[in-house]
Amino acid sequence: MFDQPERLSALNGVVKPGIFGREIAGGPGITLSERPYLSIIQVAAYAETAGETGAVIQDLIGVSPPTEPNRSILAGSTQICWTGPHKWWIVDTDQRHSAESLASQLGDSAAVTAQGHGRSCIRLSGPNARDLLAKGCTLDFHASRFSAGHCAQTSLGHVNALINYIDDEPLFDLFVLRSYAVSFWEWTTDAAQEFGYKVIPS
């Protein structure tokens, strides 16, 4: 048995708390923070085993995974995002559920993969959050089209991202590949300059 290596954020030393960009009456229009060390488990079932897989996830988490495309569910600290037919991400702030234990419960009915080590997550909020997203993406982020409980995999800025709409505050989680995290952070903060932005500690 060997010790697991300590996880190091791809944005370590890059994310610095403070207020930046244009000075806006009433305060910054954008708030950013990193959500490091998340547990992200990808579950991919077959068409004939999707129901069985969903039942196992419900027993484990307490809610069934969404079956409608581009939808997400929030259950306590856990997010479940639809990422494809019979395919989901289970995202949590701790390691309560391991990919290994879930894989053992599902057996051959689904493929289970740990993704947390390969992804970075930036939390975006503030009154201008939708405006910032619109600067780098062709999706319609109007509240009537994209609201809490929606998620989408798309190009944002210059990288592929999973955008999960958490709350109508508005509050978004933006997931990108770890290798693009620094570049994506630089794009995000540059795009936020005109609105003024605040970076808060993780």
pLDDT digits (tens, 9 = 90+) for 39-89: 999 999 999 999 999 999 999 888 999 999 999 999 888 999 999 999 999
> Does residue 147 register a pLDDT over 60?
yes
- Backbone torsions φ then ψ of 89, nearest 5 degrees: -105, 135
Of the chain, the end-to-end C-alpha distance in Å amounts to 31
Mean pLDDT of 118-122: 97
Q: Are 152 and 146 in contact (CB under 8 A)?
A: yes
Strands 72-75 and 78-84 turn out to be antiparallel
Average pLDDT over the chain, rounded to an integer: 93
pLDDT of residue 2: 44
pLDDT digits (tens, 9 = 90+) for 123-145: 999 999 999 999 999 999 998 99
- pTM summary value: 0.94
Q: 166: number of CA atoms within 13 Å, CB side?
A: 19
pLDDT for 202 = 85
